[in-house]
A and B are shown apart, each in its own frame.
Chain A
């Protein structure tokens, strides 16, 4: 499996970095224009036929979204992860809905949570979890969740902090100061 993936990556991706590699696990970073070829090669030639997840990370500092496709081999359960950076502004990513029907749902979620567009996904404009959302997508890091929560749901009630030492002394009138443990003692 590993040899197959390495050979396929050399042919399809040309330049690629290994993020992490261990027994039955390979995570690589490829250029964004090579993603589709790498995924097609892994699926068609190396037996990575199960799509586990498509995930995104907002790398706001570098102005990019890191998308990761996590695939699993159907015979030995080995995991292959392909990552690529896409520009954050007006982010457009090829859809994998033709390869895996499950990808349609993952891509809908990413469209809603990050605003990433997947041209060719037939259901990308349907609401997934948020109904009638009007702000910027909530998982983008420039979305201020606390400010939104206070503006929409109102100020939360004040919390009263109770110090256990004072509370127990008040209730029982005494507080046994714990003896500090010295070094070397259990």
Chain B
């Protein structure tokens, strides 16, 4: 069962209550437990006691409908992009994307691969890029803290950008996914 209706444009009026919301959101980031590539292996130490990301209020959730953050961990293949789009669109607003690794920025070592996307933010709105191949867990925590600062300042609005420019993103997504069989918007 899908809702095929394209979402409404978000309300641009900033209210005081939004600032309070953003404070709460920044301190409880729930992450979709979905690894797209090699970088997912660097997320495992974050869960456990050495780096312990729960002290920042970051927790893994088993379903996208409960999550705020989607981590694109490492290279993103065309086949995975289709699944990632479904996951991202099922997440509730507001939602944020963290892209890990060089591959998401410019293709990294897979720049000439037949199956790896070179520039991620043509297809999905990325809020924070974490550089490295692979980024260390400390770098990922740094990326999370940057995302928290952006949320508190009200600048982490990739999800609004995605709604407003859905045609642009759809066009790019359909240009690489040749057997497009997703609904118009599947949230």
Contacts and interface: CB of A to CB of B under 8 A. Distances in A.
Q: In the complex, which range does the number of interface residues on chain B fall in?
A: 20 to 34
Contacts of B49: none
Given A149-B107, A149-B113, A131 B82 contact: yes
A131 B78 contact: yes
B119 interface: yes
Interface in B102-128: 105-107, 111-119, 122
Given A131-B78, A131-B79, A132-B178, A143 B114 contact: yes
A interface, by DSSP: helix, strand, loop or mixed? loop
A143 to B, nearest CB: 7
B177 interface: yes
Interface string A147-164: 011001111110100000
Interface in A96-147: 129-135, 138, 143, 145-146
A146 B112 contact: yes
B111 A156 contact: yes
Contacts of B175: 152
Contacts of A154: 118-119, 122
- Which one of B116, B122, B178 has the greatest number of beta carbons of chain A within 10 Å? B178
A132 B175 CA distance: 12
Contacts of A138: 114-115
Given A131-B179, A134-B178, A148-B114, A153 B107 contact: yes
Interface of B: 78-79, 82, 105-107, 111-119, 122, 175-179
Given A145-B114, A149-B112, A159-B106, 6 more contacts: A130-B78, A131-B177, A134-B178, A153-B118, A154-B119, A156-B119
Interface of A: 129-135, 138, 143, 145-146, 148-149, 152-157, 159
